[in-house]
Structures are given as structure tokens and as C-alpha cells.
Structure 1
Amino acid sequence: MASRILTRFWDPSGARYGIPTYPRHLVPAHLLTLHQLAARGLRPGPQGAQAQALWRGRRPGPPRVRAVSLYDVRFALPKRTPSPRRRTDIFKISRTCPECLIDVGYVLPRHLGVCLDCTEEVAA
């Protein structure tokens, strides 16, 4: 039975599924999932999914085929990291009330534009 499943999901040319397809445990070493790329500090970059891995799910109920997209590690780029200065500037601006000029310790509601204390003062 296992060999039938392996043959069902073996399509490296992409003729049957439209994209190269492999059984889950027979994926070439240069193809990785998004989680595997992230663990190596990489992101897919401009490439789309290069292949897919299929396997039969084990949940109860009707048999389901599970899939995961695979990306070529040779075309992957390093992960982007936001600059610390920009992050702190945005963080401070969105926490400082423009009315009372106090860092309130939470992100200001965009629809109010001021802290909750200033909103209550205006409403009263």
C-alpha cells in the first residue's frame, strides 16, 4: 500500500499536478518549506512555490491529502529585519498622546487619536 501512495504522489516533471510533486519523505534536499527557510534565516524572495509535497492525512474521517509548498533554497534571500530606530520611533509616536503629551503605555486608538483619559475628559 505504501508504494502505491508513493507512486501516486511522485511527479517530479509536474505533468500530473501542474507543479513538481513529491511524497513528503522523498523531497530533494534543495527544496524547503517556509518554516525550514525561516529556521535558516531565509525567506523565499521573488520566487513562487517551486514544488509541492503531498501526503495522506491521518485524521479520522474521509481520507484527505495534505500539501505543503516547497521553495528552492538556492534562490532564497536573507530575512529582512526592521531597523531598531524606525521601530522605536513609530512605537513612541503611537503611544504618546498629542493632548497631554504623556507616554500612556499602550498604542493609542486610531479612531480617537488621543489617550483614553483625554477622551473621557472631552466627553464629560
Structure 2
Amino acid sequence: MTTAPTTGTLPVYQWRLAPDGLATRRQLRAIGLRPGGQDVAAELQRPRRRRGPLIAYLYRIEAAKPVRPMTPARRAALARANRARRICPACRRDAGYVIPTSLGACVPCADSTVPREKP
């Protein structure tokens, strides 16, 4: 078994070469687990052409904990938060979609706010 190079104190593995027993957050979530407060076990590097490598953190699967169940209160809070993201701050109506942060308002309100010309 070969050892991986390290950055600081964490071992670094190349894309698709991480050993069994380690997983990213997304991989843990797909099998119904979460990191559960454990420290990062290693890093995974995926090469990219222009901006340098993409880094993902790996966690030990055996130390992961099950995902917490969705309670009625958490479900209601999530529904309120998602509804607030659909309310236009200009016209105060439900847009039916999440308001883009780049616009800051629903599309009809954003289109109607034409910048004024200086005299």
C-alpha cells in the first residue's frame, strides 16, 4: 500500500484514487449519513484546466452518524424560508420562483426599473 502525499497534516488523494472507507459529504448524504462532527480525514484533488485543482474533503464512513430525521417544526421552518425567497421585495407578491439575487426583484419589477438618464 502506498502512502499519499500530504499537505500539512492531511493526506491528499488524486481523483478516483481515494481508499475505501472514505467519502465526501455528498457521498455520505447519498447513503443516509453525515460527518457528525468528526475531523476531516483527507483531501481529494480533482484536476481542472484553468483554475487549479478542485479540493474536496473526505470523511471516515465508520465514524459518520445517521442523518437527523426531518421533524414537523424543521419542515415548517424550511417551508417559511423557501417562501420568503419567492416574495418580491418591490411588489411583495409571490413570484412563483426563487428571486434571483442578481436582479433583487421579480422579473417584471426588475424590467420596469429602467435606469434614468442624467440631464
Which TM class, normalised by the smaller chain length? Answer: 0.5 to 0.7
- In the TM superposition, what is the alpha-carbon distance from 1:23 to its structure 2 partner? 0.9
Compared CA separation, residues 88 and 73, structure 1 to 2 (3 A): closer
- In the TM superposition, what is the alpha-carbon distance from 1:67 to its structure 2 partner? 0.9
- In the TM superposition, what is the alpha-carbon distance from 1:89 to its structure 2 partner? 6.9
Alignment of 1:41-60 (within 5 A): 41-58=32-49
Alignment of 1:33-112 (within 5 A): 33-58=24-49, 61=50, 64-84=52-72, 86-87=73-74
Compared CA separation, residues 20 and 82, structure 1 to 2 (3 A): same
Cα distance in 1 for residues equivalent to 2:43 and 2:8: 9
Match of 2:62, SS?
helix
Match of 2:16, SS?
helix
Structure in which a larger fraction of residues adopt helix? 1
- In the TM superposition, what is the alpha-carbon distance from 1:88 to its structure 2 partner? 6.6
Alignment of 1:19-34 (within 5 A): 19-34=10-25
Compared CA separation, residues 27 and 83, structure 1 to 2 (3 A): same
Unaligned runs of 5+ in 1: 1-9, 95-105, 108-115, 117-124
Count of residues in correspondence between the two structures = 83
Cα distance in 1 for residues equivalent to 2:34 and 2:58: 12
**Identity of aligned pairs, percent?**
30
Q: Give yes or no for contact 2:23–2:61 (8 Å, CA) kept in 1.
A: yes
Relative to the length of structure 2, the TM-score reads 0.55
Alpha-carbon RMSD across the aligned residues, in angstroms, is 3.2
- In the TM superposition, what is the alpha-carbon distance from 1:49 to its structure 2 partner? 1.0
- In the TM superposition, what is the alpha-carbon distance from 1:90 to its structure 2 partner? 6.0
